[in-house]
Structure 1
Amino acid sequence: MNTVELLIGGQSRPASTEARFERRNPVSGEVVTRAAAASLQDADDAVAAAAAAFPAWAALAPGKRRALLLKAADIMDRRAPEFVAAGVAEAGSMPIWYGFNAMLGANMLREAAGLVTQISGEVIPSDVEGCLAMAVRQPVGVVLGIAPWNAPVILGTRAVAVPLACGNTVVLKSSELTPALHRLIGDVFQEAGFPPGVVNVISNDPADAPAMV
């Protein structure tokens, strides 16, 4: 059985209330995950950690962001068996589906890595004689990604990959049905060496979902 903690500011930690919820295998009914049930304070802490990490991450050279994303892609490929095992246990589909998820998720990270030097502004015609208007694209800050269970690695990775490439920091709210699987995405970024707070992952009890979002 997986015990899943929150990932906040680069640290694994239980919910501030110590609350947990269980995820059962939909086929066997066996409890397969006991996950931290984040409180609103935990959600605020995750946002604060991402906000604190944002200035340095936004200022990081694009090539360094690209290198970290490419490293994360390689790690996701290597850890595909873990994604498969967690997916089968929590969501009950076939192993080949979660293998495909991990493969496509890794490739999404590679695609995002290729975008870091393609972010550009534009020159806009101006009615003021002798003047040019310019649009400059800048990272906005903390981005929330909410991922569903049905294509969990694909959609969880998609929720954060491009925001990270563009210099934003992220909070990924996992599906209540696949908390261990979505926390694995956070583990990939941790192993790749992303700075603390750049990627945060929170899980919540299904009963708390309306308040959390």
Structure 2
Amino acid sequence: DVSNAAFPFGHAREIDIAGHTVRALRVTYVGELGWELHVPIAATGEIFDALMAAGKQHGIRPVGYRALESLRLEKGYRAWGADITPNDTPQEAGLGWAVKLRKNNDFIGRRALEKAAGQPLAKRFAGFTVDDPDVVLAGRETILRNGQPVGYLTSGGYGYTVEKNIGYGYVRNADGVSDDFLASGAYELVVAMECTPAKIHLEPMYDPAGEKIKA
């Protein structure tokens, strides 16, 4: 039973597909109801064929990585190796909610996070959009706040649902990066040596309340 009631968001189950045991995780990287399916390597072809056959009546079809990239940008999901690296803390990346410091469970990096907890953040992850449809964001563009460089984009692309070019990156300030600091600035992005006005976003641009992934 993979109904919403029996298999809610954030849960994991072992299910059977085409006679093979599959670990199904009710999570998504595209911002709507979905699963990750972890399958035995040797059974990948059979499972794929079974899913395509079952979904044919619903118009199921494979999509490419660039489609996934566009969707995750609209949703504000971070990409490991670009938006988040060993040089970024969960708090700086806006993922502090996933760190369970209140429990006594040990984990790699706990001491460093305990030391940083409650301290002002010198950089914060944020999203940006530009209204000019001819401006292409790809990552590594310089972020200007009130005319001063404060960071660079870690990733970028076009959001076909929100119909805007989207970029993500870290805004830096040695004296701290509060919500007020982020919201009060006037932002530009340096694209191909030219400055273009940009709007900052601190919430996901698509379904900010996360309702579509849970129902």
State the TM-score bracket (shorter-chain normalisation): under 0.3
Bigger relative contact order, structure 1 or 2 (CA pairs below 8 A, ≥6 apart): 1
Please report the TM-score for the alignment, with normalisation by the length of structure 1: 0.25
Please report the TM-score for the alignment, with normalisation by the length of structure 2: 0.25
More strand by percentage: 2
Q: Computing the radius of gyration over CA atoms, which structure comes out larger, 1 or 2?
A: 2
